[in-house]
Amino acid sequence: MSGTFPDVTKFKSITVRSDTNQLTQIDANNRLYSLTSNQENGSGFGTTTGIKGLGHAWEFDFETVPLTRAEMAPMYSFLCAQNGTAETFEMKVPGTEHRHKRDTRSDRTFTMPAKPKGSVGIIFRISSGQDSQSFADDGGTTTICPGDFLRFNDHKKVYIWRGLNFTVDCTNLDPDLGSVTQNGYIWPPLQQEHLSTGVITWDPLFTVALTSEPQVTETDQEGFFTLSFSVREERA
């Protein structure tokens, strides 16, 4: 690990790709086989509760807005110091923050029941050790929304929320509300075991490595440059 990317406020465009090799693989004898052939029972959500051998990584392409040399140089220097694809670093990627409008916390943490490697759910309950921020409106709950990115603090991997809006009990939950009966799911299947004491954050840092050398392009504005580079999430 070699630090955190120094500035994510200056990107003009970000491309996100989900790289999943879940369908087929070729073995050393050139035989094609399915990675999903060894599955646990179905979850009732159109997928399996455990897909053996499923690997996944998020990939990102970045291009900055026009920058002065003074703005561009620290970012370029940081990327060059990654020794090509040899090092990993962390980034908080714009656009991957949570979308629950009444909850502005970026450091909110959750606890979730233990799940084995390969599980995508079913998740019945998630709780937060912090108060909700709008008790008059939500009675002491907050919400995880479809498409939210989540990171287990004992994993390098980032996951995405697949289910419907999911109600999370906070410490100031109104006792009359009680726990909500619901099903929740994540994608991809857990790349390693999740312990019951594990914590989830919903404004995650991605652990990534460069997939190509960064490029600096001089713009038609004298003295301005754009910086572009691509990264891939390091698997758990």
Is pLDDT of 148 > 70?
A: yes
Both 111 and 184 in one domain: the answer is yes
Both 72 and 136 in one domain: the answer is no
Is pLDDT of 149 > 90?
A: yes
Confidence of residue 21 (pLDDT cuts 50, 70, 90): low
H or E element that contains 76:
helix 69-80
Residue 54: other Cβ atoms inside 10 A: 21
Q: What is the pLDDT of residue 29?
A: 60
Q: What rounded mean pLDDT belongs to the chain?
A: 83
First vs last C-alpha separation in the chain = 14
Higher pLDDT, 56 or 74: 74
CA neighbor of 60 nearest in space, from 35, 91, 85: 91
pLDDT in tens, 183-224: 888 888 888 888 776 678 888 999 999 998 999 999 988 889
Q: Which domain holds residue 176?
A: 98-203
- The DSSP bridge pattern shows strands 215-218 and 199-201 to be unpaired
Higher pLDDT, 201 or 142: 142
Both 90 and 131 in one domain: the answer is no
- Give, in order, the Cα–Cα distances in Å from 100 to each of 159, 189, 208, 225: 17, 24, 26, 36
Report the percentage of the chain scoring pLDDT > 70.
Answer: 83
> How many domains does the chain fold into?
2
The CATH number assigned to the domain holding 195 equals 2.40.30
Both 62 and 109 in one domain: the answer is no
Both 215 and 139 in one domain: the answer is no
Both 88 and 77 in one domain: the answer is yes
Both 68 and 106 in one domain: the answer is no
> CB under 8 Å to 226, separation ≥6 — which residues?
12, 63, 64, 65, 66, 67, 216, 217, 219
User: 0.85 cut: is pTM over it?
Assistant: no
Both 85 and 179 in one domain: the answer is no
Both 38 and 110 in one domain: the answer is no
Both 106 and 76 in one domain: the answer is no
DSSP 1-35: ---B-S--S-EEEEEEEEEE--SEEE-TTS-EEET
Both 90 and 54 in one domain: the answer is yes
Report the percentage of the chain scoring pLDDT > 90.
Answer: 44
Q: What is the pLDDT of residue 161?
A: 92
Both 83 and 119 in one domain: the answer is no
